[in-house]
């Protein structure tokens, strides 16, 4: 399989090449030239596979330049019971009202980002060793991507991580997870701004092609296609556990800020997975919900981005949204480039003429949750089922309730564990969440990070000083 840019300015490249590049040279995002089609019979043949086996099978369609036996070795090392709390790697836990939790947050950093990052932690060193190269991973995080990437890459030869986070806008647990890492190849940079501004710095440096090439910049944010491909796996896994035979439909509810997690569901649906609805749940930063309701995409300025109790979704410009628009226009990269030019000059674009397609053709529906909603949902789910959920998952449950249909299982993605957001859980239930085993002293561990102004030049200078060079 080969990959092209959503904006048409990149020659077709294999998986391992786009893995190392992150953002395309023309500022677009890598997408497959064509998606594989998975037949009903193939789906049924996958029912007996373990999660690592299923991951190797699904990723084999995307990473065609990696030998199948090597890919299987990588997935078996990425997805082990020692790294994930469930022997199944991803468990399905019943709730009420026809809903279940798809627990994709049982990895080392207690967030769904581990599902992709643990695979990237295997494939990056392999490709770099093959090529005798180094890689400086540059990313931005609103809380969970950073820790998942750092835990997957810490101590890895030939890899350094430079992770930007918004100063003072993550939970205490999230900060401690990241900043307590002492490995010399991990560099935490707290920028005085919001996530969107940090992401803009990442994109600006990735778009500076001479700088990117000289310092071998790569990405682990969901702009990296490998992240999206790795996440496709658990949609297949969830469907296989929620159904008993071919053709049965399942809906997925996904808390989403950057549109990466739910985009993987969109890709699975395009590959033939029988998905009824992809339910997009946002918090008060509801730019994506507004788009799926009105057809108008209008990102907000940093000053208009709310600080909420589901902070990983405090995002007003969704990086992966461009990949969906590329599909909406049937791969017309010129049209995508035109829309993003308009976005830069006008601050919005209007696709309301395509509004009926969002649900009828692509299965998307959307809704909003706020602080009081998530507190009430956390309480209700705990009282009714005994399951303790985090604020982002609570947003997913709240919105999913409006789209439950008789006979259609609704799987809500549990995107993080509640221990990461103990302050909000205490508000909801009147008591904090006990720290997970092995992390009891996390908040007391020494923290190592650098605070920088929210500007490109400051981050550039820091990378120049600390980058790993071949």
Catalytic residues: 113
Burial 340-364 (b: 16+ CB within 10 A, else e): beebeeeeebebeeeeeebeeebbb
CA separation for the pair 314, 317 (Å, rounded): 10
CA distance 170 to 189: 13
3-class DSSP state for residue 344?
helix
CA distance 75 to 150: 19
Beta-carbon contacts of 214 under 8 Å, excluding residues fewer than 6 positions away, are none
| Tokens linked to 100 | 């279940």
* Bridge partners, residue 325, by sequence: none
The dihedral through the CA atoms of 63, 67, 68, 70 has a sign that is negative
Copy the structure tokens of residue 284. 């008060």
- Work out whether the CA dihedral 54, 58, 59, 65 comes out positive or negative: positive
Query: Which residue reads 């900043």 in tokens?
Result: 179
Q: Contact at 8 Å (CB) between 166 and 435?
A: no
Measured over the CA atoms of residue 213, residue 215, residue 221 and residue 225, the dihedral's sign is positive
As a whole number of angstroms, the distance between CA 29 and CA 215 comes to 20
Gap between the Cα atoms of 291 and 270, Å rounded: 20
Alpha-carbon distance of 146 to 151, in angstroms, equals 9
Identify the H or E element spanning 335.
helix 333-346
């Amino acid at each position: 399989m080969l990959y092209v840019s959503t904006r048409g300015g990149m020659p077709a490249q294999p998986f391992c090449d786009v893995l190392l590049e992150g953002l395309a040279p023309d500022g677009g995002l890598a997408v497959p030239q064509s998606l594989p089609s998975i037949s009903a019979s193939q789906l049924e043949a996958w029912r007996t596979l373990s999660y690592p086996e299923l991951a190797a099978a699904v990723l084999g369609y995307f990473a065609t330049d990696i030998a199948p036996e090597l890919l299987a070795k990588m997935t078996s090392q990425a997805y082990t019971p020692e790294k994930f709390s469930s022997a199944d790697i991803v468990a399905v836990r019943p709730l009420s009202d026809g809903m279940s939790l798809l627990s994709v947050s049982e990895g080392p950093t207690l967030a769904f980002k581990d599902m992709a990052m643990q695979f990237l932690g295997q494939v990056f060193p392999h490709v770099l060793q093959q090529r005798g190269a180094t890689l400086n991973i540059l990313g931005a995080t609103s809380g969970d991507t950073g820790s998942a990437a750092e835990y997957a890459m810490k101590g890895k030869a030939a890899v350094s991580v430079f992770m930007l986070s918004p100063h003072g806008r993550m939970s205490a647990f999230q900060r401690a997870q990241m900043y307590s890492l002492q490995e010399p190849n991990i560099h935490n940079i707290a920028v005085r701004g919001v996530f969107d501004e940090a992401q803009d710095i990442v994109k600006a440096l990735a778009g500076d092609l001479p700088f990117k090439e000289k310092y071998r910049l790569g990405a682990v944010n969901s702009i990296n296609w490998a992240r999206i491909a790795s996440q496709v796996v658990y949609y297949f896994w969830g469907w296989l556990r929620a159904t008993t035979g071919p053709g049965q439909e399942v809906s997925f509810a996904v808390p989403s800020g950057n549109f990466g997690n739910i985009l993987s569901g969109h890709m699975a649906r395009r590959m033939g997975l029988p998905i009824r609805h992809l339910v997009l749940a946002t918090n008060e930063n509801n730019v994506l919900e507004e788009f799926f309701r009105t057809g108008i995409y209008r990102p907000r300025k940093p000053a208009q981005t709310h600080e909420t109790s589901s902070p990983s979704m405090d995002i007003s410009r969704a990086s992966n949204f461009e990949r969906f628009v590329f599909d909406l226009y049937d791969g017309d990269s010129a049209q995508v480039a035109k829309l993003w030019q308009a976005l830069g000059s006008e601050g919005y674009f209007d696709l309301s003429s395509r509004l009926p397609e969002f649900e009828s053709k692509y299965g998307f529906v959307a809704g909003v949750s706020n602080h009081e909603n998530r507190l009430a949902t956390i309480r209700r789910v705990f009282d009714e089922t005994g399951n303790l959920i985090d604020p982002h998952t609570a947003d997913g449950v709240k919105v999913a309730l409006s789209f439950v249909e008789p006979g259609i299982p609704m799987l809500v993605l549990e995107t993080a564990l509640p221990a990461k957001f103990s302050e909000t859980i205490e508000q909801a239930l009147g008591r904090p969440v006990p720290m997970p085993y092995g992390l009891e002293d996390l908040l007391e561990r020494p923290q190592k990070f650098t605070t920088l102004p929210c500007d490109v030049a400051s981050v550039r200078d820091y990378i120049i000083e600390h980058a790993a060079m071949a």
